[in-house]
């Protein structure tokens, strides 16, 4: 067995990526403090060609070398926008017809393995600060929340891991024709 060379993977070039159809999923980063997590979210967004990444509050924006370390160029391909107020970003998405789901351990959260996306809805997933989670103001605006089932002693996963799990799960369950 041998590893494939990058040229054998058949990946899009950046210009082709920008023109390609996107998976209609939006990710909102609510006050992330780690630039590594921001870069990893960009890389996941690129891998699954999501519609857009929203950076809000204290979340750092490209260009920055710490974001670039994890993003590996995805900041050049993924459509993103910055909004100082996470609540304003969420309200804009709701006005655009998105159903907002906080990724949070909360009253009434639905376990991810039991959630089936409605093919008639557009979704935006909100990921919160590494210590405090999704802000209370944004939680109050969300249409629901999803929780990743966990069985160990820790109470949460790293936000970059959670972004990967959620985006993959939505992609797999939605089966977009990209």
pLDDT of residue 75 exceeding 90, the answer is: yes
What are the tens digits of pLDDT across the range 16-68? 999 999 999 999 999 999 999 999 999 999 999 999 999 999 999 999 999 99
Characterise 133 by phi-psi region: left (phi > 0), alpha (psi -120 to 50), beta (else): left
Let me know if residue 4 belongs to a domain.
no
User: What is the rounded CA–CA span in Å between residue 1 and residue 3?
Assistant: 7
12: which strand partners? none
Let me know if residue 82 belongs to a domain.
yes
Overall number of domains in the chain: 1
What are the tens digits of pLDDT across the range 131-147? 999 999 999 999 999 99
What SS3 class is residue 117?
coil
**What is the Cα 40 distance to its own chain's centre?**
10
What is the span of the domain harbouring residue 71? 20-146+157-173
Cα distance between the two ends of the chain: 28
| Tokens 């370390």 found at | 69
Let me know if residue 14 belongs to a domain.
no
Name every residue whose Cβ is closer than 8 Å to that of residue 157 and which is 6 or more positions away in sequence: 148, 150, 165
Let me know if residue 81 belongs to a domain.
yes
We report the CATH number of the domain holding residue 61 as 3.40.1280.10
Let me know if residue 6 belongs to a domain.
no
Let me know if residue 169 belongs to a domain.
yes
Segment 151-157 long-range contacts (CB within 8 Å, at least 24 positions apart): 155/105, 156/105
Let me know if residue 36 belongs to a domain.
yes
- Predicted TM-score (pTM) of the model is 0.96
Section 66-78 average pLDDT: 97
Number of DSSP helices (H) and strands (E) in the chain, helices first: 6, 7
């Amino acid at each position: 067995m041998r590893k494939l060379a990058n040229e054998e993977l058949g990946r899009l070039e950046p210009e082709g990526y920008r023109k390609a159809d996107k998976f209609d999923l939006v990710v909102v980063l609510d006050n992330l403090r780690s630039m590594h997590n921001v870069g990893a979210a960009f890389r996941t967004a690129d891998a699954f060609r999501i519609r857009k990444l929203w950076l809000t509050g204290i979340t750092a924006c490209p260009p920055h070398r710490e974001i670039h370390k994890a993003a590996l160029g995805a900041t050049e391909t993924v459509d993103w926008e910055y909004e100082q107020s996470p609540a304003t970003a969420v309200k804009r998405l709701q006005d655009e017809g998105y159903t907002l789901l906080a990724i949070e351990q909360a009253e009434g959260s639905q376990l991810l393995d039991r959630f089936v996306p409605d093919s008639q809805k557009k979704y935006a997933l909100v990921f919160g600060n590494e210590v405090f989670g999704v802000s209370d103001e944004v939680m109050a605006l969300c249409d629901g929340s999803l929780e990743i089932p966990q069985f160990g002693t820790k109470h949460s996963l790293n936000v970059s891991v959670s972004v990967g799990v959620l985006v993959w799960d939505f992609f797999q369950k939605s089966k977009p024709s990209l």
